[in-house]
């Protein structure tokens, strides 16, 4: 079996090279085509040992003329990739990568699978309705449609299709989460909480991530029955000055933290992680925290919700509801040591080699 990946976001996320390298370690023969817009991003996040073709086939004007991406990309793929040997195409987004895979499928007959991500579900589908007919054609012709979580799958099934169309999509919907590098999986269970309790936040400081809600929830929990609570935050973004202005005595803000070892050190100082984002396709930050024995509070109905039974690794919170988030901070403190130990063990089930096995099984099923 040989795969052709189409991955427009390779430069922007380390998830993709980690997946491709895990598949290579599992013996999967593969090539990657990257339809790129910025020449400065060429060469970023290159997977080791995997042939990658990057071409500048995306232009700023494609915001108005979306279909030109596929029209430019398909001829480039036919020139640079060994399509005669390709058995299956994997499009890593619905709209950009999926439109290329769909056009390539129509020209070559090669089947494809695709993954839906945050930008597909929360941005393009929502704000560019003129592209929905194309999205439906792409979904209809895919062999499998992969979601990172049950929350993302349920949102699409409930809002995008009805009747027979919905049933057909549900029949080929599969959930495969992102993986975590094995180097993360060295965390230890916590035996108890810090005094005061340290509630962590890690992420880009934007409205979507809701860092100001986090500090408000921590301060409310600090004033309530949960006992002393302080914020321990890191990140960079447009809300940094607003966040810093609201810090109280005992709260800490580390700014940007780079690298796995630095993030492990950050999590070591946290008792729990609260990231109540407006929208997430998955949310790697939760899994990384869990690997270090840190229970998590995640947004109800978004990407990480549904990965585990409620309370097992943490709790779902309502985005925008400060009172609910403060109450859940108190809930995490109950039975803390056992929950911390579960987090460490549960995170091990997301190691990239195990996730790669799920992908290879899906690829084989799609070809059957």
Residues 48 and 115 in one domain: yes
For residue 20, the number of C-alpha atoms closer than 13 Å in the C-beta half-sphere is 26
Q: Report helix, strand or coil for 5.
A: strand
β strands within 167-310, DSSP E: 173-175, 197-202, 229-234, 252-253, 272-275, 296-299
Residues 245 and 145 in one domain: no
Q: Rounded to an integer, what is the distance from CA 3 to the centroid of its chain?
A: 22
Mean pLDDT of 113-120: 93
Residues 292 and 361 in one domain: no
318 Cβ partners below 8 Å, 6+ apart? 276, 299, 300, 324, 325
Q: What is the pLDDT of residue 285?
A: 93
Mean pLDDT of 260-284: 92
Residues 141 and 221 in one domain: no
Residues 335 and 355 in one domain: no
How confident is the model over 226-237, as pLDDT tens digits?
568 999 999 999
Q: Report helix, strand or coil for 147.
A: strand
Q: What is the pLDDT of residue 66?
A: 82
Long-range contact list for 76-79, CB < 8 A, 24+ apart? 76/33, 77/4, 77/6, 77/33, 77/53, 77/104, 78/107
Q: What is the pLDDT of residue 302?
A: 83
Question: Which CATH number goes with the domain that contains 220?
Answer: 3.40.50.2000
- Count: domains in the chain: 2
Q: What is the pLDDT of residue 227?
A: 66
* β-pair type (144-147, 112-115): parallel
Residues 278 and 131 in one domain: no
Which of these, 107, 136, 105, lies nearest to 120 by C-alpha position?
136
Residues 49 and 98 in one domain: yes
Residues 235 and 272 in one domain: yes
Residues 160 and 19 in one domain: yes
Which of these, 275, 238, 233, lies nearest to 251 by C-alpha position?
233
Which of these, 238, 229, 190, lies nearest to 211 by C-alpha position?
238
> Among all chains, which residue has been given the structure tokens 């430069």?
11
Residues 10 and 24 in one domain: yes
Q: What is the pLDDT of residue 62?
A: 74
Mean pLDDT of 125-134: 93
Residues 87 and 74 in one domain: yes
How confident is the model over 47-87, as pLDDT tens digits?
999 999 999 998 887 776 788 889 999 999 999 998 999 99
Decide: 326 and 224 in contact? Cβ < 8 Å.
Answer: yes
Q: What percent of the chain has pLDDT over 70?
A: 99
Decide: 31 and 50 in contact? Cβ < 8 Å.
Answer: yes
Residues 338 and 362 in one domain: no
pTM: 0.90
Kindly report the average pLDDT of the chain as a whole number: 93
- The rounded distance, in Å, linking the Cα atoms of 185 and 49 is 24
Domain residues for the domain of 228 are 182-348
Q: What is the pLDDT of residue 214?
A: 97
- Whole-angstrom CA distances from 350 to 178, 216, 253 are 7, 32, 29
According to DSSP, the residues that pair with 33 across neighbouring strands are: 6, 53
């Amino acid at each position: 079996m040989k795969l052709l990946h189409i991955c427009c976001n390779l430069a922007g996320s380390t998830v993709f090279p980690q997946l491709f390298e895990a598949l290579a370690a599992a013996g999967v023969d593969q090539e990657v085509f990257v339809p790129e817009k910025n020449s400065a991003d060429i060469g970023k996040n290159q997977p080791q040992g995997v042939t990658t073709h990057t071409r500048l086939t995306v232009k700023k004007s494609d915001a108005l003329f979306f279909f030109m991406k596929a029209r430019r990309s398909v001829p480039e793929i036919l020139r640079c990739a060994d399509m005669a040997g390709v058995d299956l195409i994997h499009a890593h987004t619905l709209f950009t990568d999926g439109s290329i895979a769909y056009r390539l499928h129509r020209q070559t007959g090669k089947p494809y699978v695709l993954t839906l991500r945050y930008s597909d579900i929360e941005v393009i589908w929502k704000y560019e309705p003129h592209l929905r007919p194309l999205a439906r054609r792409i979904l209809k012709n895919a062999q499998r449609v992969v979601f990172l979580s049950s929350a993302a799958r349920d949102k699409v099934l409930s809002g995008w299709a009805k009747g027979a169309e919905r049933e057909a999509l549900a029949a080929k919907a599969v959930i495969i989460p992102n993986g975590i590098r094995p180097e993360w999986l060295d965390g230890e269970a916590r035996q108890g909480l810090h005094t005061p309790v340290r509630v962590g936040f890690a992420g880009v400081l934007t409205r979507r991530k809701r860092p100001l809600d986090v500090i408000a929830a921590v301060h409310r929990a600090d004033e309530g029955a949960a006992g002393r609570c302080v914020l321990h935050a890191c990140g960079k973004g447009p809300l940094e000055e607003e966040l810093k202005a609201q810090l109280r005595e005992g709260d800490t803000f580390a700014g940007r933290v780079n690298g796995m070892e630095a993030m492990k050190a950050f999590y070591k100082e946290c008792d729990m992680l609260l990231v109540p984002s407006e929208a997430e396709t998955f949310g790697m930050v939760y899994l990384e925290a869990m690997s270090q024995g840190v229970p998590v509070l995640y947004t109800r109905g978004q990407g990480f919700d549904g990965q585990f039974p409620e309370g097992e690794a943490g709790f779902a919170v309502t985005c925008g509801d400060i009172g609910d988030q403060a109450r859940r901070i108190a809930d995490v403190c109950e039975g803390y040591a056992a929950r911390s130990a579960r987090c460490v063990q549960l995170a091990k089930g997301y190691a990239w080699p195990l996730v790669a096995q799920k992908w290879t099984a899906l690829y084989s099923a799609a070809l059957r």
